[in-house]
Amino acid sequence: MTIDEMNKIKETRGYSFTQLSDYTGVPVVTLQRIFTGVTKSPRKATLDAIEKVLKGDESIFSGKAYSYGEKSSVSYSDYEGKTGMLSENEPIYGAKKNGEYTVADYYALPDDKRVELIDGYFYDMTAPRTIHQIICDLVFNSIYNFIRENKGSCIPISSPIDVQLDCDDKTMVQPDIIIVCDEDKIKDRVVFGAPDLIIEILSPSTRRKDMFVKTDKYCNAGVKEYWMIDPKKKILIAYNFTDEDVVPVIVPLKGEFAMFMYEGKLKVNLDEIAQMIDRFTR
């Protein structure tokens, strides 16, 4: 299927890049590069995922009738305990509409209110589960020990930490683990700008946001590497955003996995993570 053919089907069915990313599992930025011809030779697996949707039954991969508008709504997973969509016109906090909030609104919230702000939208964050914190500590310790033993200059930081990702007043995220190599980005109250690496531990309440909204956001902001650890499916999803054709590497939680950073010398023990999941999620 040619780029022109793909674009024609996309326009006929009314797919947004966000919706097509949802169906295919291919990041928005990768789709944009392919459909605009920036990426000249996409990987076969990427094209196969796209063609499966574009050649598929529209009753399954709904087009114009599908209510996942790239501009008209924002996706939530288990938002305040409920799965579904939230219209951008629905007020959440105070008189403003979702999509209009700023960093000033973020800091004005009560201290016990955990949210993330992404492009003016507030996303509620429930308290992390026990296994979430156990995995976070295991991975962070591996990173911290490696950097310390090798006298590295980059700084690993674990949540809670505010990251003003785009250096604007519309986005403030709280990743589980980050690595920052430019110390000038680390301020007294916030990390100002994109970290070099971000790791998220997926949970039922943040799964969709971390997998779709944040993947696109992190890539466009300049994050170099992004990991998602999925305790439910026992898999690791890793993106190397420095690669021209951004395709996730998905592996089971077995053996070790080397970070793209540090020339693959920094390795995380996935067996240990899997053992902890089995131990504490029975």
Work out the percent of the chain whose per-residue pLDDT is above 70.
88
- Sorted by where each starts, the structural domains of the chain and their CATH numbers stand as 3-54 (1.10.260), 75-124 (no CATH), 130-280 (3.90.1570.10)
For 83-110, the pLDDT digits (tens) are 333 444 445 555 677 788 999 999 988 8
d(CA 161, CA 243): 27
Lowest mean pLDDT among 50-54, 73-77, 122-126: 73-77
Higher-confidence residue of 267 and 62: namely: 267
d(CA 203, CA 231): 8
pLDDT at 126 over 90: no
**Angle 137-140-143 (CA atoms, 0-180°, nearest 5)?**
150
The pLDDT value recorded for residue 269 is 97
Q: What is the pTM of this model?
A: 0.70
For 161-220, the pLDDT digits (tens) are 999 999 999 999 999 999 999 999 999 889 999 999 999 999 887 888 899 889 989 999
Q: CA quadruple 202, 49, 3, 71: dihedral positive or negative?
A: negative
